Structure 1
Amino acid sequence: MSTWVPVPEGSGFGVNNLPYGVFSQRGELPRVGVAIGELVLDLAELANAGLLADRRWFASGSLNGFMAAGRTVWQPTRDRLITLLTDMSYRDEVEPCLSPVADVDLHMPFEVSDYVDFYSSREHATNLGRILRPGSEPLLPNWSHLPVGYHGRAGSVVPSGTPVVRPSGQRRGDQGPVFGPTTKLDVEAELGFVVGTPSAQGQPVPTSGFRDHVFGFVLVNDWSARDIQAWEYQPLGPFLSKSFATSISPWVVPVEALDAAHVPPPEQDPEPLPYLRCAEPWGLDVTLEISINGHVVSRPPFAGMYWTPPQQLAHTTVNGAWLRTGDLLASGTVSGAERDERGSLIELTWNGNEPLELPDGTTRAFLEDGDTVRISATATASDITPIGFGDVVGTVYPSPS
């Protein structure tokens, strides 16, 4: 498809993407828009002009109302937007609703109802097993049978650009636990998806129901305090080591926009139980990129993730737990087989024992105060133009204690 909107060469925001977000003009209330090239299209203004149905979803500071409307609304809205942006006859009416992204403020795209984070990369889980449990089998017996996850804190999910204050907590000392700011602040590069249509209490959602409930995908940085995590995570898993901040990107990429990026996921052995089997190939040809202070340190490939998004959704609901609009489910750290494909510093530096050398001459075992982390991602395939997710950025601020 071609659009009359000027889209720079190599942009991840062509008309085949059209991710949704929430923005505001300076001094005005937030509302819903979509990204196209280096511009944002004001959906509230489009609806006000009679070019798009039902303005009540779009004159809002959140995507939740639109997401709750379901697939029977999402699809015709997307089709209509593609028509408006590709048919020259609409240009004079639509063009006044476009603003440069550089001239607006981007906000949290949706209200998070619940947050779950998985552990779905075999490479990441194996690396952490070797680091945290040396001499033992890296993968615990359950890992290859179910998508392992932990229940996070929805209130700590923040939009890209929010400062990340170094957290304090207990960590292991030579003579017992000590308290203070973490000395092992880390990143986790992840891809997450957000629920639009709720499900009924007590009714599991099968893998085949993914498209009926999931609105789209975002980038996630699940910041982690590794020394606090190592002391607290047994036997119940992460708590304070991850509940201080989880950053997400400002744009939500629709599920349909990624259809051409589907690839077969890794073979699963042993075969999953019936409720986890998925007929549609749900690997995604998405490459993430992690930068520290402008220097690229890793490019993790999402296509190698062992557990897929529909399997994560099915497992989350198989006990009868119901979905709510705004539920965020993240993949867990995305890591590949090579060192420069690892999605966290604990892997890249092997728990600080092999520090990274940055091009400016400095080294990093873990993050220092003042460091800025930027995670980006692009979906690629031979027959599509690249699809971008928008960056998720955070700068580390010193602990107040």
Structure 2
Amino acid sequence: MPIDLNATHDPKRRSWVESANAADTDFPIQNLPFGVFDDGRGPRGGVALGDSIIDLKALLDTGEIAGAAAEAAAGDTLLPLFACSRSEVSALRARLSDLYRADGASDRTHAHDALVPMQNARLLLPAKPTAFTDFCTSADHILRMAGSGGRTPMPAWATLPVAYNGRASSVAVSGTPVVRPVGQVVPPGSSDMVVAAEPMLDFELEFGAWLGGPVNSLGESVDMTQADEILFGCCLVNDWSARGIQFYEMLLGPHLGKSFLTTISPWVVTMEALAPFRVAGRGRTADQPDLPSYLDDPYDRSSGGLNVELTAELDTGAGPHTIVHTNVAELFWTLAQMVAHQASGGAPLEIGDLIATGTVSGAADEARACLVEITKLGKEPLTLPDGTQRTMLEDGDTLTLRGRAVAEGYVPIGFGPCAGTVQPARTTR
């Protein structure tokens, strides 16, 4: 069901925290995303506002916030918050918005004392995912990659959101070092397998969603309305790819080529905050099959997409340079369709599951959202402004993803950076 717009979305609302009113901030008062941080006094829940973090435990202790969602959000993991109802989370966001709006209460003592400078805090994983599923939902990515390899894509890409179950244990927060993995690869120009450091390390610019409740039981499915209501909030995802390992092992699907690290942004932007940025799902052409009935829904057709602009920046040592511009709205499948399909065979979803869209590539050349696409499988190296070239990531490279939800008449909101720096392989077997 649609999420009603309310006072927290008001574009005229401003905060007495001045940094939250900056035009380029990811965290205006209209956003209020949840996360977990540690400023030396222990991990606890917080909300981003401008260049500060609202310490929810401090507000809870002084009685400025109360209720199930406030208690759930103040701990060292957001899993209890994901289990709260939308109405409970909405009430907490509304209270925080009132506490920090410029024309709110005159006594700001407790609200001010609860602010922690973000630069003085370490941002932590918001929750340990109960499971992680990586989808492949960009038609442009699928068709472009098949064409580059001289293959015809399997027909399933157009009838279901393709996915694989990844490793929840290797999901890590932005800033975690990207250690080059070691595995079985066939080096370029050779036909023999060797065990070596991955020679073709790539990134994938993706979008993710954390699941809340209520979820299904074993043997049950969820319909599209339920699927949309299960979505709690979103983040940025970089599902790093060891292409050499991946290409060699792909008989059943990706395994070690994708399991060594998945980086996510630390803040969870709620579906309520994203409500003004809903757009129609991507339509289908006449030569593409109709949607299966269990993935078809009028609201999803009209509002299942999100207008979130995504970029990827590569820094090889001379400063960051943007190498990708794309948009979540380009995806062939919606988040709700991914959730509904995941549960369609009777597999139970769990509160705290993390799903990712796969590479968010669009039709334009600048929207190729991984290096194998940008370089056409290494045939055309990427040339940066200083003349540096890349076909794949090298040790020392830093890759940063950014996202910004935009809509006419509303204040843009962001997700914070999702970054990682490549480090050399630690061992060879």
Q: How would you bin the TM-score normalised by the shorter chain?
A: over 0.9
1:276 has 2:295 as partner: yes
**Residue 370 of structure 2: aligned partner:** 344
- The residue identity in structure 2 corresponding to 1:370 is G
**Matches of 2:269 and 2:37, distance apart in 1:** 15
User: 1:303 is matched with which residue: 297, 311, 329?
Assistant: 329
Which of 150, 167, 171 aligns to 2:185? It is 171
Partner Cα distance (1:185, 1:148) in 2: 23
Question: Contact (CA 8 Å) 2:211, 2:233: kept in 1 or not?
Answer: yes
Q: Distance in 2 between matches of 1:370 and 1:100?
A: 29
The Cα shift of 1:39 comes to: 0.8
CA contact (8 A) 1:30 1:59 kept: no
Return closer, same or farther for 1:231/1:154 CA change in 2, 3 Å cut-off. same
Alpha-carbon distance in structure 2 between the residues aligned to 1:288 and 1:72:
29
Instruction: For residue 22 of structure 1, give the secondary structure of its aligned residue in structure 2.
Output: strand
String of CA shifts for 1:122-169, please: whole Å, max 9, x gaps.
11111211233x1x32x3111100000011000010110000110111
Q: Give me the identity figure in percent.
A: 40
CA distance in 2, matches of 1:226, 1:181: 11
Task: Name whichever of 154-163 and 53-62 sits farther off.
Answer: 53-62
User: For residues 53-106 of structure 1, what are the alpha-carbon distances to aligned partners after superposition, in whole Å with 9 as ceiling and x for unaligned?
Assistant: 146424421101111123232121112111212214352331111121111111
Q: Is the 8 A contact 1:84 1:90 kept in 2?
A: no
Contact 2:211 2:230 (8 Å CA) reproduced: yes
In structure 2, do the counterparts of structure 1 residues 237 and 47 end up closer, same or farther at CA, with 3 Å as the change threshold? Answer: same
| Contact 1:4–1:91 (CA under 8 A) maintained in structure 2 | no
Q: Which amino acid aligns with 2:89?
A: W
The residue that corresponds to 1:260 in the other structure is 276
Say whether the 8 Å CA contact 1:193–1:218 is kept in structure 2. yes
Are positions 1:375 and 2:390 aligned together?
A: no
Q: How does 1:32-181 map to 2 (within 5 A)?
A: 32-54=45-67, 56-86=71-101, 87-132=104-149, 134=150, 136-137=151-152, 139-173=153-187, 174-181=190-197
Residues 183 and 198, structure 2, Cα contact 8 Å, conserved in 1: yes
Instruction: Give 1:243's aligned residue.
Output: 259
Code of the aligned partner of 2:337: Q
Q: Determine helix, strand or coil for the equivalent of 1:125.
A: helix
Residue 126 of structure 1: SS of its match in structure 2?
Answer: helix
1:327 to 353, 372, 378: 353
Unaligned runs of 5+ in 2: 1-12
Aligned partner of 2:211 in structure 1 is 195
1:163, 1:394 within 8 Å by CA — same for their partners in 2?
A: yes
Q: Tell which deviates more after alignment, 368-377 or 316-325.
A: 316-325
In 1, the alpha carbon distance for the partners of 2:369 and 2:14 equals 35
| Equivalent-residue separation in structure 2 for 1:51 and 1:211 (angstroms) | 31
Q: Is the 8 A contact 1:33 1:40 kept in 2?
A: yes
SS of alignment partner, residue 238 of structure 1: coil
Aligned to 2:338: 312
Using the alignment, how far apart are the partners of 2:78 and 2:323 within structure 1? Answer: 33
Q: How many residues align?
A: 396
For residue 318 of structure 1, report the CA deviation from its aligned partner. 0.8
In the alignment, is the contact (CA less than 8 A) between 1:278 and 1:311 conserved in 2?
no
Q: CA deviation at 1:37?
A: 0.8
Secondary structure, aligned partner of 2:298: coil
Q: Which runs of 5+ in 1 are unaligned?
A: none
Offset of 1:229 from its aligned partner? 1.1
Compared CA separation, residues 89 and 271, structure 1 to 2 (3 A): farther
Instruction: Tell me the CA shift for residue 211 of structure 1.
Output: 4.2
The C-alpha deviation readout for 1:224-250, integer Å capped at 9, x for no partner, is 01111111112x110010000000001
Q: What TM-score do the two structures reach when normalised by structure 2?
A: 0.90
* Cα shift at 1:30: 0.6
SS of 1:299's equivalent? strand
**1:160–1:392 CA contact under 8 A, matched in 2:** yes
Q: Partner letter of residue 264 of structure 1?
A: A
CA distance in 2, matches of 1:211, 1:92: 39
Offset of residue 384 of structure 1: 1.0
Q: Give the aligned CA root-mean-square deviation in angstroms.
A: 1.4
TM-score by length of 1: 0.96
Q: Which residue identity is paired with 1:53?
A: A
